[in-house]
């Protein structure tokens, strides 16, 4: 007998992927709908559903360039492409917090209880966490600077369009005066 026996004809994540790929942008695929498709109880077997969703979401993102987000106690929404930037920013914030927590774990340790080689490993890890945190901080600064430049360019473009409209209006008025 094989140590692995498939649960059904198709992997659960593929079934969930099909649900997501056929859903419209902005639509919510409910836990009930996913549970029904997988023949699982959406309340009691939520963890199994979530594991399938994680894998399906990865495929949806890489194959279809579409992302999902959790709608608390309801299901998963297919997000608009413009919203994916906000999702990425949220992941970046969580990653930075996680790196800082990791740094704290290797910084605040009783080194008197460690042998020399273990203490050196802690120092190396603390240094590496510090480098990662600094790299993310630099990227944040660069990203904010780029956002300000884009906003400035958009503002200048709008001003130019308004000035052009004003010039067109003035030109039309001058032409009307000359024609009289």
Residue-wise pLDDT for 131-149, tens only, equals: 999 998 898 899 889 989 9
Rounded to the nearest 10°, the torsion over CA 120, 125, 127, 130 is: -160
Residue 176: its H or E element = helix 116-179
What pLDDT is stored for residue 101 in this prediction? 95
Q: How confident is the model at residue 1 (pLDDT cuts 50, 70, 90)?
A: very low
For 74-133, the pLDDT digits (tens) are 999 999 999 998 999 899 889 999 999 999 999 999 988 899 999 999 999 999 999 999
pTM above 0.75, yes or no: no
Instruction: Provide CB contacts within 8 A for 137, sequence distance 6+.
Output: 96
């Amino acid at each position: 007998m094989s140590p692995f026996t498939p649960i059904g004809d198709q992997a659960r994540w593929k079934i969930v992927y099909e649900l997501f790929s056929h859903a419209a942008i902005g639509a919510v695929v409910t836990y009930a709908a996913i549970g029904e498709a997988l023949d699982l109880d959406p309340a009691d077997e939520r963890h199994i559903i979530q594991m399938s969703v994680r894998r399906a979401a990865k495929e949806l993102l890489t194959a279809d360039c579409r992302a999902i987000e959790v709608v608390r106690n309801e299901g998963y929404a297919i997000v608009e492409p413009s919203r994916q930037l906000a999702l990425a920013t949220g992941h970046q914030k969580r990653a930075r917090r996680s790196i800082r927590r990791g740094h704290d774990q290797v910084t605040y340790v009783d080194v008197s209880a460690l042998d020399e080689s273990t203490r050196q490993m802690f120092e190396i890890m603390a240094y590496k966490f510090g480098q990662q945190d600094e790299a993310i901080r630099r990227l944040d600064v660069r990203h904010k600077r780029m956002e300000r430049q884009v906003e400035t360019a958009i503002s200048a473009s709008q001003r130019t369009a308004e000035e052009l409209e004003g010039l067109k209006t003035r030109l039309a008025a001058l032409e009307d005066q000359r024609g009289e």
